Structure 1
Amino acid sequence: MDAVVLSIGTELVDGHLTDTNATFLAQELASLGIRLQWVTQVGDELDTIVRVLRRAWEDATLIVTTGGIGPTEDDLTREAIATLLDEPLTVDPELAERIRAFFAARGLVMPERNVKQAYRIPSCEPLPNPIGTAPGWFVRRDQHVIVSMPGVPREMMRMWREQVVPRLLPLLGGGVIRFRTIRTIGLGESLVEDRLHDLITRNMPRVATYAKDDGVYIRISVQADDEATARRLLAETEREIHQRLGQHVYGTDDTTLGAAILEPLAAASWSLALVEQGNGGRFTALLAEEPAASHCLRQALVLPEPLPTGPSLREHAHQSAQAARAATGADCAGVIAVRFGASETVDRTPGEAVFVLLTPQGASEREHTLVTHPQEFRRRVTLWAAEFFLFALREAAAPARGSSATSA
C-alpha cells in the first residue's frame, strides 16, 4: 500500500506552526510497512485542497489528512473530500448529539457552528474523538482509503492509534501488528544505527531510529499471525537491543527521562537536594514534573550564573553540593553549575558546565566546555546532566537496592 500525507491549514503554509503531525505519521506508516510517496502542506483554500487531493488519489491508495475539520468557515477538509468523491454532505444527528454531549459534560452549550463537525458523506465511517469535538473520517471508495483526522497533535495521535490503525490492519493482510519504543541517552543516532545495523536492515521485525530532544528512540514494529508470536518477537528484539546498548537504554514506550533519573532514588529510598545555577532551571523542570519528585526531591534551588570571581566552577559546585546536603538533610545532593565567558559574538560564547553528585556511596563529577550560543549550550547541558545523573545514580544506588532486596 502506498500513502500520501496532507497537512491542511494556512498556519502551516505560513510557517507559524511546525508540521509535527506529518513527521509522526511518516514514522507510523513506515512501521506499518506502508510506503509514503510524498507529504505536503496545503492552505485553507477549497480549490487548492481538492486539486491536491486529486493528485494524491492518482499517486496512492491511502490518503491521510490532518487539520481542517474544525467548526469555522475556513475548515474545509470535509467539503474538499466530498467534492473529490462527488458525494453529498449531510448532518449526522448522532454525531451532532455526541458533540453536544461533549460540551454539556463540561458545563457548556454547543455553539451552533459546531454542527458543521457532524457533517459526513455516505462512504464515510465517523471516527470517535474522546478528547475533542471533531470526529474523524475513515472513507473507503474504489480501492482507496481516505483518513481525515484533527490537526491538534494530541487528538490526532490518539485517533490514529485507537481508531485508524485497527481499521487499516485488515487491509494490510491481517495478522497482528505490535510496536515498542526503546528510549536511549548518551549515544548519537549514527552510533546507535551502527550498533543495530543488522537489525535495522532486516525485514521483520522492523527497527528504526529517531533522534529526539531527550535522546535517540528505537521503534520496533512486529507483524505476526497471532498475539503470542508478536509478543515473542518484540521481546527477543528488545532483549537484543538492550544487550547492545546497555546502560544507554533508559526506558520503553512512555517512560520519561525524568522518571528514569528518579527511579534509582526511589528504589534506594533516597532523597535529593538539587542546585541548578546558570541553566534556567531546565533540569529541575525535567524532574519536578514527575510524580516521584514529591517523594524524592527534598529541595530544588534555581539560581543565576555564578560570579566569575572566586573559586573555580568545579570547587564552587562541590561546595554548593555539600552545603545543600547539610542544609536539607537529604541523602544526596546534586549541582549543575553553568558559567559563560566573554565573547565578541553571541554565537561564539564559551560555556563551561560542571555536574556534581554526592550520595551515601561517595562523590561523582563531570565537566563540559563548548563554544556556541548560550541557548544551545543550555539545551545540551540539560541532556548532559540527565545522562550524568542517570548513570551516577544507578551506579550509586545499586548496592542500596541489593541490600534492600536481601533484607526483604
Structure 2
Amino acid sequence: MKHILAEVITIGDEILYGQITDTNTQWISTELDKLGIRTVRKSSVGDDKERILEILQEAESRADIILITGGLGPTKDDITKNVLAQYFNSTLVIHEQALMEVTAYFKSKGKELTEINRSQAALPDTCTFISNKRGTAPGMWFEKNGKVFVSMPGVPHEMKGMMTDTILSKLQKHFETPVIYHKMIKTVGIGESFLATKIEQWEDNLPPHIKLAYLPTMGQVRLRLTATGTDLATLQADVEAQTTQLQSLVSDYIYGYDNDTLESVTSELLLKHRYTIAVAESCSVGYISYSLGSVAGCSQYFMGSIVAYSNEAKINLLDVNRNTLEKYGAVSEETVKEMAQQVRLKFNTSIGMASSGIAGPSGGSEDKPVGTVWIAYADGKQTVARRLQLGNDRDLNIKLTAVHVLNLLRQSIY
C-alpha cells in the first residue's frame, strides 16, 4: 500500500522571531498519524512572497498533502491568500457562503462588517471553501497534479476546529490511507546502547510491517513499535505478540506502556500494597517529593518529606548519627541508609527513601566527583542503597536522582 505523505507549513514572521510558540504542527501531525498519513517535514516561513512560493513548490515535490497555517488575517501583513492565488493561477473573488458567514459572525458580536473584514470573504476562484465556525478567516482546499493543499488560520482553536469539523474526514475520503498502530514500551534503568544490544536479535527479526524506534528521555528509554497495514485488529495482535517476546528479554527494565509514567506506576504499586512512604532529601532538594506528589490521590500514601541539606539538618531533623557523618561523610552509603531509616520512623510509614550527593557543578573530590549520588530504600525489613555516577549538570542530576529513586522504589516493592 502506498504511503500518503504530508508536509506542514507554518507562515508568519512572529514564529521565526520566536514571539509565539508553534503548537499547530505537533497537533496536526498527531491527527494525521491517526489516519495513517505520515508527516515527512515541518517547515516555517516568514511573511515573504518569494519564500512562500519557494516552499510551496518544494513541498509539492515531496508530499501528497500540504497543510498550511497562518497569514490569513485581514491586514496587509497577512499575504498567504494572495500568494496562494498566484501559485494556483487564481483570481480573488467574493465567495457568497464565506461572506454570509463572516457577516453573521460580526453580527453575533454586535458589530458591523467593515470593508477590511469583508475582504476575508475574497477567495481564490480555484479553491474549495472551508467553513470556519470559530473565526472569520475561511479555509481553502486546492488540488494540483494529484496533490492536495489546505490553507487554514494560524489561531490554534480555529485551525483545530476546521481540521476536526471538515478537513480530516475530507482527507480520509480523498486518499486511501493505511492503518497505523503504535505501542510505546517504557523502560528505565538501562541506557539506550545497552538496551539495543540486549534486544538486537529480536529487533532484527521483526516482521517487515512493524518498525522499532528508540526514544530516549531523561533516565529512560521509550521503545515505539509502529505497525502499518489494512486491519487494526490484526496489527494490534501482531504488536502484542512482539511485545510479549520483548518482555521475556528485558522485563526487569520495563515499567509500563503507552500513557504510563514512572510516577503513575509507583503510585499504583503503593496503593495496591497499601504502603505509605516518606522521603529524606539532600541533593535532590525536594524533587523526589514533587515527583511523588504530582499524581492525584498521593495523599493516600505520601506522608511527607524532610529536605535536610546541611549536616546539621541531617542530625537535628533526621537524627542521623554525627559519628556516621564525620566518619563516612554526607555522600555515603552509611549516611543515606540512616536517612531512609530515620525518615520512615519520623513519619511512621511503611517505606522511607533518601538521597544524598554532589549535584554540582562544583564540590566534588577525587573519590567523590561531581555527580556522585547515593540513594536508599528502607522498609523495616531491609535497607538497600545504590551509588549513582551522574554528570556535571546540576539541574539534570537533581531530576535524574528522582528517576532513580522512583525506580528503586518500583523494584523494591514489586
Scaled by the length of structure 2, what TM-score is found? Answer: 0.71
State the 1:265 CA deviation.
0.8
Relative distance call for 1:175 and 1:370 in structure 2 (3 A) is closer
1:6-405 pair list within 5 angstroms: 6-14=9-17, 32=36, 34=38, 36=40, 38-65=41-68, 80-81=83-84, 84-85=87-88, 86=90, 88=92, 91=98, 122-125=127-130, 139=141, 141-142=143-144, 143-147=146-150, 168-169=171-172, 173-174=176-177, 176-194=179-197, 195=199, 199=203, 202-213=207-218, 215-304=220-309, 310=326, 311-312=328-329, 313=331, 314-340=333-359, 343=362, 350-359=370-379, 361-394=381-414
User: Which amino acid letter does the alignment assign opposite residue 190 of structure 1?
Assistant: S
CA distance in 2, matches of 1:231, 1:198: 18
Secondary structure of 2:235 counterpart: helix
CA distance in 2, matches of 1:99, 1:305: 63
C-alpha contact (below 8 Å) 1:8/1:42 kept by paired residues: yes
CA distance in 2, matches of 1:298, 1:209: 36
The answer for the alignment partner of 1:400 in structure 2 is none
State the 1:61 CA deviation.
1.9
Relative distance call for 1:327 and 1:340 in structure 2 (3 A) is same
The answer for the alignment partner of 1:406 in structure 2 is none
C-alpha contact (below 8 Å) 1:265/1:296 kept by paired residues: yes
CA distance in 1, matches of 2:122, 2:300: 50
User: Which amino acid letter does the alignment assign opposite residue 178 of structure 1?
Assistant: Y
For structure 2, the residue ranges without an aligned partner over 5 or more in a row are 315-324
State the 1:374 CA deviation.
2.0
Relative distance call for 1:248 and 1:177 in structure 2 (3 A) is same
C-alpha contact (below 8 Å) 1:8/1:44 kept by paired residues: yes
CA distance in 2, matches of 1:157, 1:242: 38
CA distance in 1, matches of 2:341, 2:361: 29
State the 1:128 CA deviation.
8.0
C-alpha contact (below 8 Å) 1:138/1:164 kept by paired residues: no
CA distance in 1, matches of 2:278, 2:137: 47
C-alpha contact (below 8 Å) 1:274/1:333 kept by paired residues: yes
**Larger Rg computed on CA atoms:** 2
CA distance in 1, matches of 2:342, 2:107: 58
Secondary structure of 1:173 counterpart: coil
Relative distance call for 1:322 and 1:41 in structure 2 (3 A) is same
CA distance in 1, matches of 2:133, 2:283: 46
CA distance in 2, matches of 1:23, 1:368: 35
Relative distance call for 1:95 and 1:22 in structure 2 (3 A) is same
CA distance in 1, matches of 2:187, 2:112: 46
Secondary structure of 1:350 counterpart: coil
User: Which amino acid letter does the alignment assign opposite residue 213 of structure 2?
Assistant: A
CA distance in 2, matches of 1:391, 1:259: 14
C-alpha contact (below 8 Å) 1:306/1:338 kept by paired residues: no
1:239-276 deviations in Å (ceiling 9; x for gaps) = 23323321322222221221012221111011111222
CA distance in 1, matches of 2:191, 2:161: 29
Query: Percent identity at matched positions?
Result: 21
User: Which amino acid letter does the alignment assign opposite residue 362 of structure 1?
Assistant: Q
State the 1:363 CA deviation.
1.9
State the 1:184 CA deviation.
1.9
Secondary structure of 1:262 counterpart: helix
For structure 1, the residue ranges without an aligned partner over 5 or more in a row are 395-408
Between stretches 170-179 and 294-303, larger displacement belongs to 170-179
CA distance in 1, matches of 2:160, 2:185: 18
User: Which amino acid letter does the alignment assign opposite residue 41 of structure 1?
Assistant: S
Scaled by the length of structure 1, what TM-score is found? Answer: 0.72
CA distance in 1, matches of 2:122, 2:59: 21
Secondary structure of 2:267 counterpart: helix
Secondary structure of 2:345 counterpart: helix
Calculate the aligned-residue CA RMSD, in Å: 4.7
C-alpha contact (below 8 Å) 2:361/2:393 kept by paired residues: no
CA distance in 2, matches of 1:146, 1:344: 58
Between stretches 40-49 and 66-75, larger displacement belongs to 66-75
C-alpha contact (below 8 Å) 1:338/1:353 kept by paired residues: yes
Between stretches 300-309 and 56-65, larger displacement belongs to 300-309
